[in-house]
Amino acid sequence: MMIRKNGYFIALCGGLILSFDTVIIRAIDLPMMQVTFWRSLSMALPMLLWMLFNMLRSKQINYLKIKSNKSFALAAVFYGLSSVLFPVSAMSTSIANMLFIIATAPLWAAIFAWFFLSEKIHPVTLITFIFSIFGILTVLGGVDNLTMDSLRLGDVTAIATAMSMAAAFVVGRQSKADLSLAPSFGSILATVCLFVVYDIDFNINISQFALIILEGSIVVFLALSLIAKASRLISPPHLGLFLLLESVLAPIWIWLTYGDVPSEGTIYGGIVILLSIITNSAYFIKKKEINKGH
């Protein structure tokens, strides 16, 4: 019972921290692939420092054993993909499009969990997802712009981001292992691939460097580590719902930072999403308590 509560709390913290991701990406002000590379590198930095610290202490590093675990390696690949795809989407399409599409992560998580783990989609979770989508539609004021004519790189990468995150949740749930370092290791893989494929400009100013460290090494690293840790404690569809917090809170942070005033739809839709997430979590915590009591 306490484990499940901890899982929801950890996922909540991860979702809240991740909601600052978009506003910092916008502030870095670099070309798309430059942001993607530096973001991935800064996400990998904590893992690299941990490895170096163990080497300097002449301590046997157990990470090779961890990486030999298939679940860890698979989760790292999915988190690495998402670390590349998210900033590409954020800089290739409207924030509204991106946040709406990524909000489908809980649905993908439920589908993947049903297909690979034989986990049934609980009616309450399905209803929660429907209400959450309604909230997102309210935030966006409709999705008339999400047509085949407007489908482009940013929208496709947003879908791939949602699916990658959902797949990582399912892997974490299936393995039951602590995969909190998987996002950071996945970022190492992404950094190497981006360095090989693209001509990276290392000439950045101090303010951009500070924002890059804040974005990758603190905000995203901490958020994804918490989410990865929660993936073994709660079901993938429930975990995916916490990603919807970014769809609600990111417009608010952008408003406070850049002066883009949120609409009434953002406020009302945000309330619907938050209430949906809280109700879903409370229902399953209470259900667990009742079952335990009997």
Say how many residues make up the chain.
Answer: 294
DSSP H or E segment with residue 231: none
CA distance 105 to 164: 9
Q: What is the rounded distance in angstroms from the CA atom of residue 195 to the CA atom of residue 183?
A: 18
Q: What is the mean pLDDT of residues 194-207?
A: 86
Whether residue 202 is predicted with pLDDT greater than 70 in this model: the reply is yes
Is the overall model pTM greater than 0.75, yes or no?
no
CA dihedral sign, ordered 135, 170, 24, 8: positive
Instruction: Name the maximum alpha-carbon separation found in the chain.
Output: 64
Show me where the domains of the chain are located.
2-293
Tokens of 224: 């994804």
Helix or strand (DSSP H, E) at 47: helix 32-56
Q: Can you say how many angstroms the Cα of residue 75 is from the centroid of all Cα atoms in its chain? A: 13
The tokens for 63 are 């990470």
Q: Which two tokens stand for residue 158?
A: 């947003």
pLDDT at residue 203, rounded to an integer: 84
Rounded to whole angstroms, the Cα distance separating 213 from 201 reads 16
Tokens of 281: 């979590």
What is the pLDDT, as a whole number, of residue 164?
A: 93
* AA identity, residue 168: A
Q: In this predicted model, what pLDDT tens digit does every residue of 245-262 receive, in sequence order?
A: 877 788 788 888 877 776
* Backbone angle region of 141, left / alpha / beta, with phi > 0 → left and psi within -120 to 50 → alpha: left
CB 24 within 8 A of CB 12: no
Residues in Cβ contact with 156 at an 8 Å cutoff, skipping those fewer than 6 apart = none
* pLDDT single digits (tens) 110-156: 888 888 888 787 788 788 778 877 877 776 665 444 444 444 677 78
pLDDT recorded at residue 33: 83
pLDDT value of position 228: 81
- The model's confidence at residue 64, banded by pLDDT at 50, 70 and 90, is very low
Are 294 and 288 within 8 A, CB to CB? Answer: no
Spatial distance between the Cα atoms of 222 and 224, rounded to a whole number of angstroms: 6
**With bands split at pLDDT 50, 70 and 90, how would you rate the model's confidence at 175?**
confident
Residue 68: both structure tokens together: 């030999």
